[in-house]
Structure 1
Amino acid sequence: MDFVASVEDIQVATFGGEDATKWRIGQLFSHSIDASASDPDPKISGPSTEKRDELLGVWNSTPTWTLSYTSPDKGPLYSQGNAQKVMSTYDMTTTVNSPTVDPYIEVGSYQANVRFDYSGPVAGKFKGTVFTKARVELTMSLKDPEVNESALHIYDALKRPERTFPSSASKSVPGETQPLHRLVDAKKQADQRTNSIKECKKVWGDYSGTPLQCDEYPFASTHEGSLAGNGRYSVRLIEGSDNENGGSMLNSMYTLNRIIDGDAFFMKIVS
């Protein structure tokens, strides 16, 4: 993982006899590991220096610098339940100094939370890095003919849950303001899928032999699915191809954003 830091667009104005050529700007990075949230034996290798302190003229001529951080892995251990997750935080302190003025120090002028992991095929690329506070959204359009039925079902679940089944006057369904969280356990996914199909048959009867499929939201591949135990879900019969296209979009979102078990994401339905 690389950070590219810079000081750019420097503008100098004469004031009080100050000599701008003697002013300095510093950037000091530091990193730490949250061992309690990481897998066993977490490690990070940082750059040879995490500090740059230069005169304004040097920054002006060379405004950027790069810091590289890596997390050494032990080979593929994901099949043993070890994704080698390393949860880390990066902070930058900014300083400004002049020979005649008290120094300015801004601690925490930049902060990032980063996860390294070796999660295998479930994450798309077998190993990689993500910014854990980035908001991830799966967007579907009501006008997209490939997934318009899926999109309408999710829209109703989020905005008009009284129109959905199982029926409940007080039902609310997560995904818009409350996140969904990925579930990768294949057995639990299958159990949720089976439960959702059972609910579809309760409402619409036997639909075998038709082009329809039982669509469920939240998805079977989330911890908020139909077996979460709180009734905050919806099922609906929709065109099978639409349902499958929606599933493909979901899986692509997982791998493109490196969403692994327990990671949060949101839904966004547009017209």
Structure 2
Amino acid sequence: MHWDIANFEGSGLGRDKLSYNQWHVEASTDEPGGRKTLDPADTPSRVQRCDSADYMKHGRNLYPKACVFSEVTPFLTYTLGSDHDGVARHLRDAYKSPNNTYPLPVGTHTKKFPGQYKPSDPNAPGLHRITEEMHRSIYRDNRRHKDGACYHRGRYKKLYEKTGLPNPPAAGEDCDEYPFAATLEGAASKKWDFSVRPVDSTENQKAGAKLRAYTTDDRILAWDKSLSESENDRYYVRIK
């Protein structure tokens, strides 16, 4: 059996018109003038969220309206030994030893990174998606801080003269950053720290493509300042 769930777009919240449906399945074998179910089967109620985000896409294919199951902890998996191994190792090391990452911590400061997937803690600090088009100033500042820490160039180069990478990435390498530039918690965040590391260019591009595909496939909506923290999507990264 199958069924469709829909909602009225005009009643949605925020920029992407979020709406929520609560549904359940009931089963019985009632027949007119015949059998009568005394105790119908009934599943717990589940919640499904619908939206009208017009920036979900794979290449030129747009997916402007869709619904997802919202009672989940969304996470992206990066795999050690895969075609994006360098990025997976970078994130694993950042989670395990944050103070051994560049830019180096100053004084007694302990670096903190959000976004690590912890099955036992669904309320752990997550990552919030931003896009270059809708959050231009944040996205640009994330890149500027990364350039200062990696290449000692740009507006913030003096901030990282002593703490940034000793040497910039070599030919065939990219400067990988975490949290990602496409997150509210990126390098420009005043609440969270960040990490940079040279990684193989091809592996970095593979990881970037995987992130872009994931945010569409799992329908991770971009940060909307008109909504509360709890109403905005957050996601995590699991290292496998």
Fold conserved (TM > 0.5)?
A: yes
Change (3 A) 1:186 1:239: farther
- C-alpha deviations, 1:58-89, integer Å up to 9, x for none? xxxxxxx6543212447xxxxxx832221333
In structure 1, C-alpha distance between the alignment counterparts of 2:86 and 2:149, rounded to whole Å: 18
In structure 2, C-alpha distance between the alignment counterparts of 1:93 and 1:131, rounded to whole Å: 19
Work out whether 1:133 is the aligned partner of 2:94. no
Alignment of 1:122-271 (within 5 A): 122=56, 125-144=63-82, 146-168=83-105, 170-176=110-116, 177=118, 178=124, 179-184=126-131, 185-187=134-136, 188-200=138-150, 201=152, 202=160, 203-204=164-165, 207=168, 210-261=171-222, 262-270=232-240
Unaligned runs of 5+ in 1: 1-64, 75-80, 96-102
| 1:249 partner amino acid | K
In structure 2, C-alpha distance between the alignment counterparts of 1:72 and 1:105, rounded to whole Å: 30
Identify the residue that residue 86 of structure 1 maps to in structure 2.
19
In structure 2, C-alpha distance between the alignment counterparts of 1:82 and 1:172, rounded to whole Å: 31
Change (3 A) 1:228 1:93: farther
In structure 2, C-alpha distance between the alignment counterparts of 1:186 and 1:244, rounded to whole Å: 22
- C-alpha deviations, 1:190-229, integer Å up to 9, x for none? 2212211211234236737732222111111112111221
Deviation at 1:251, TM superposition (A): 0.3
- Deviates further, 244-253 or 160-169: 160-169
Deviation at 1:232, TM superposition (A): 2.5
SS in 1 for 2:77: strand
In structure 2, C-alpha distance between the alignment counterparts of 1:162 and 1:83, rounded to whole Å: 38
Q: Equivalent pairs: percent with the same residue?
A: 25
Aligned-residue CA RMSD (Å): 2.9
Identify the residue that residue 7 of structure 2 maps to in structure 1.
71
SS in 1 for 2:204: helix
TM-score, with structure 2 as normaliser:
0.69
- C-alpha deviations, 1:221-263, integer Å up to 9, x for none? 1121112212422111222222211110100101111111142
In structure 2, C-alpha distance between the alignment counterparts of 1:223 and 1:231, rounded to whole Å: 10
| 2:176 partner amino acid | D
More strand by share: 1
The alignment covers a number of residue pairs equal to 193
Alignment of 1:9-158 (within 5 A): 66-73=2-9, 82-91=15-24, 109-122=43-56, 125-144=63-82, 146-158=83-95
Is this contact kept in 2: 1:158–1:175, CA < 8 A? no
- C-alpha deviations, 1:12-40, integer Å up to 9, x for none? xxxxxxxxxxxxxxxxxxxxxxxxxxxxx
In structure 1, C-alpha distance between the alignment counterparts of 2:179 and 2:97, rounded to whole Å: 14
Q: Which has the higher contact order (CA 8 A, sep 6+)?
A: 2
Identify the residue that residue 157 of structure 2 maps to in structure 1.
none
- C-alpha deviations, 1:139-173, integer Å up to 9, x for none? 111211x2111111100111121221222352231
Is this contact kept in 1: 2:185–2:192, CA < 8 A? no
Based on CA coordinates, which of the two structures has the bigger radius of gyration?
1
Change (3 A) 1:71 1:231: closer
Is this contact kept in 2: 1:142–1:269, CA < 8 A? yes
